[in-house]
Amino acid sequence: MPLSSQQGFSLIEVMVAMVILAVGILSIIGIQYHVVNGNTRGNVMTEQINLAQRVLERYKNTVNVDKLGNEDMVGVDETGAPGGPYTVQVRVEHMPGVKETDAQKITLTVTKSGGIGARPAGSELKVVTLTRGHGI
CB contact at 8 A, 68 and 104: yes
Does residue 40 lie in a domain region? Answer: yes
Give the separation between CA 30 and CA 87, rounded to whole angstroms: 32
Residue 4 predicted with pLDDT over 70: no
Give the separation between CA 27 and CA 131, rounded to whole angstroms: 50
Q: Which domain holds residue 24?
A: 9-131
Does residue 98 lie in a domain region? Answer: yes
Does residue 120 lie in a domain region? Answer: yes
Does residue 136 lie in a domain region? Answer: no
pTM, entire model? 0.73
CB contact at 8 A, 116 and 132: no
Q: Which tens digit of pLDDT belongs to each residue from 82-123? A: 988 999 999 998 888 877 777 888 999 999 887 665 555 446
Provide the domain count of the chain.
Answer: 1
Highest mean pLDDT pick, 6-20, 22-36, 92-106, 117-131? 22-36
